[in-house]
C-alpha cells in the first residue's frame, strides 16, 4: 500500500452487510493533540450493524460513511503538541468518528492507552466497547460479595466480560444463554440458565433466596422479566432497551458512561493479569468485513469478532 493511501470500510447507503466495501482513502492527518495509529486489530459490534441498517440513530450517517470505534495499533505520526505518546508506541483505545475499521486512524490522545504487552492484538482491538460497557453495567448495579446477579446474553461480547467482572467482585452469577454456552459459563464460575419458555421458573429455582440484580444485554423482554421477578428497579440495568428503562424507572448505562482512559486501563490490567479474558470468536481480514458482520448478526457470537486490517 502507498504511504499516502489508507484502506477503510465505507458504506454509501443504509442496508445489510452487502453495502459495506473497502475504499482507498487518504491517510488521515493527525490534528493537534492527536496521533495517527496504524491499526493492527479492530473489532465489530452490534451497534455498528444497527447504524448501518438505519435502525439505530436513523439518519445519522453522512455518506460515504465509515464505521468502527474499537482499535489497537502502532503510533506512526504525532500531531502538534503531543507529548504523551511517541512514534512506535503500541496503543489501544477508541475512535468516536466511526472510523476505526481501517488501516489508519487519527485519534485524540485522551482516547488511547498504552497496550499492555500481555494482550494480543485481537484482544487489545476488542477491548474498548465491550470493556467499558461491561464496566458501566456492573458499576450500575454495584454488586456486593455473595449477592446474586442474573445476566442475559451472558456469553456475548459484553456478557462474557460482565460475568467475569461480577465474579471478580464475589457475586453469584446466573448466566442466561443457550446450552451451547453452558460449559463456558460454568468454567467461568457462573450458573448457566437456558433462555426460552420457563425461564422465570428456572431463575427462581436457581436462586431460592432471591435475585439481587439483573443486567440485561439482549432486549426489552428481559427488562420486563426482571421487574416481574420483583427485583428493585435501581438494581436492574439494561444497555439496550433505553425507552422501556425510562418507562419502568430502571437503570440504562452504556459505553459513554465509562469511556475514560482510567476505565480502559483498569480493564486492560484485569486482562493482562489474567483476572478476566476476552474470548475471540473469529478474526477476519478487513476485506471480509461483510462476512464478519453476517456472522455477528446471527446474534450467537461467544466473545468478539475481530478485523485484522
Ligand atoms: N449501550 C451501549 O453503550 C452498548 C454497548 C455495547 C453493546 N450494546 C448492546 O448490547 C447488546 C449486546 O452486545 P454484544 O456485543 O454482547 O452482542 P453479541 O456479542 O452479538 O451477543 C450475542 C449473544 O446474544 C445471545 N443471545 C442470542 N439470543 C438470545 C436470547 N433470545 N436471549 C438471551 N441471549 C441471547 C447469544 O447467546 P447464545 O449464543 O447462547 O444464544 C450471544 O452470546 C447489543 O444489543 C448491543 O447493541 C450496547
Report the separation in Å between the CA atom of 157 and the middle of ligand 1, taken as the mean of its atom positions: 7
Q: Place 60 in a pLDDT band, splitting at 50, 70 and 90.
A: confident
Query: Which of 69, 34, 58, 23 shows the shortest CA–CA distance to 254?
Result: 69
Question: Residue 122 and residue 112: Cα distance in Å, rounded?
Answer: 16
Q: Closest ligand 1 atom to the C-alpha of 50?
A: 47
Using CA positions, which residue lies closest to atom 31 of ligand 1?
195
Question: Residue 285 and residue 222: Cα distance in Å, rounded?
Answer: 35
pTM check: above 0.95: yes
Report the separation in Å between the CA atom of 216 and the middle of ligand 1, taken as the mean of its atom positions: 9
For residue 135, the SS3 value is helix
Ligand 1 cavity residues, CB under 6 Å: 45-47, 129-130, 133, 152-153, 155-159, 176-178, 180-181, 195, 217-218, 239-240, 254-255, 296, 299-302
Residues 6+ apart with CB under 8 A from 73: 37, 38, 39, 40, 41, 90, 91, 105, 125
Report the separation in Å between the CA atom of 217 and the middle of ligand 1, taken as the mean of its atom positions: 5
pLDDT of residue 4: 78
Of 2-6, 13-17, 74-78, 109-113, the range with the lowest mean pLDDT is 2-6
Using CA positions, which residue lies closest to atom 26 of ligand 1?
153
What average pLDDT is seen over the chain?
97
Give me the domains of the chain, ranges plus CATH numbers: 5-126+278-308 (3.90.180.10), 130-256 (3.40.50.720)
pLDDT of residue 59: 82
Contacts 24+ apart (CB under 8 A), 78-83: 78/30, 78/35, 78/36, 79/29, 79/30, 79/31, 79/32, 79/33, 79/34, 79/35, 79/36, 79/106, 80/31, 80/32, 80/33, 81/32, 81/33, 82/30, 82/33, 82/34, 82/35, 82/109
pLDDT of residue 3: 60
pLDDT in tens, 80-109: 999 999 999 999 999 999 999 999 999 999
Res. 256: pLDDT tops 50 = yes
Residues β-bridged to residue 145: none
Residues 6+ apart with CB under 8 A from 137: 158, 162, 215, 217, 237, 239, 253
Q: 110 is written with which cell numbers? A: 485522551
Amino acid at each position: 500500500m502507498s504511504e499516502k493511501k489508507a484502506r477503510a470500510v465505507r458504506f454509501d447507503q443504509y442496508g445489510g452487510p452487502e453495502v459495506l466495501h473497502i475504499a482507498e482513502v487518504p491517510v488521515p492527518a493527525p490534528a493537534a493533540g492527536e496521533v495517527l495509529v496504524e491499526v493492527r486489530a479492530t473489532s465489530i459490534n452490534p451497534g455498528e450493524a444497527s447504524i448501518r441498517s438505519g435502525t439505530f440513530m436513523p439518519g445519522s450517517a453522512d455518506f460515504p460513511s465509515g464505521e468502527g470505534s474499537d482499535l489497537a495499533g502502532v503510533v506512526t505520526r504525532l500531531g502538534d503538541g503531543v507529548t504523551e505518546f511517541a512514534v512506535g508506541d503500541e496503543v489501544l483505545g477508541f475512535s468516536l468518528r466511526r472510523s476505526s475499521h481501517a488501516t489508519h486512524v487519527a485519534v485524540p490522545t485522551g482516547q488511547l492507552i498504552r497496550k499492555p504487552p500481555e494482550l494480543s492484538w485481537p484482544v487489545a482491538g476488542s477491548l474498548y466497547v465491550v470493556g467499558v460497557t461491561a464496566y458501566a453495567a456492573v458499576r450500575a448495579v454495584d454488586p456486593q460479595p455473595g449477592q446474586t446477579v442474573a445476566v442475559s446474553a451472558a456469553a456475548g461480547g459484553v456478557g462474557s466480560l460482565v460475568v467475569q467482572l461480577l465474579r471478580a467482585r464475589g457475586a453469584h452469577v446466573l448466566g442466561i444463554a443457550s446450552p451451547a454456552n453452558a460449559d463456558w459459563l460454568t468454567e467461568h464460575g457462573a450458573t448457566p440458565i437456558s433462555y426460552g419458555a420457563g425461564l422465570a421458573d428456572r431463575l427462581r429455582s436457581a436462586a431460592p433466596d432471591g435475585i439481587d440484580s439483573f443486567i440485561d444485554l439482549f432486549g426489552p423482554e428481559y427488562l420486563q422479566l426482571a421487574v416481574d421477578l420483583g427485583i428493585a428497579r435501581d438494581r436492574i440495568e439494561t444497555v439496550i432497551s433505553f425507552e422501556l428503562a425510562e418507562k419502568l424507572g430502571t437503570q440504562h448505562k452504556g459505553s459513554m458512561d465509562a469511556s475514560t482512559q482510567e476505565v480502559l486501563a483498569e480493564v486492560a490490567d484485569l486482562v493482562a493479569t489474567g483476572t478476566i479474558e476476552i474470548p475471540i470468536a473469529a478474526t477476519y481480514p478487513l476485506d471480509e468485513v461483510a462476512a464478519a458482520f453476517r456472522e455477528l448478526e446471527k446474534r450467537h457470537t461467544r466473545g468478539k469478532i475481530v478485523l485484522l486490517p
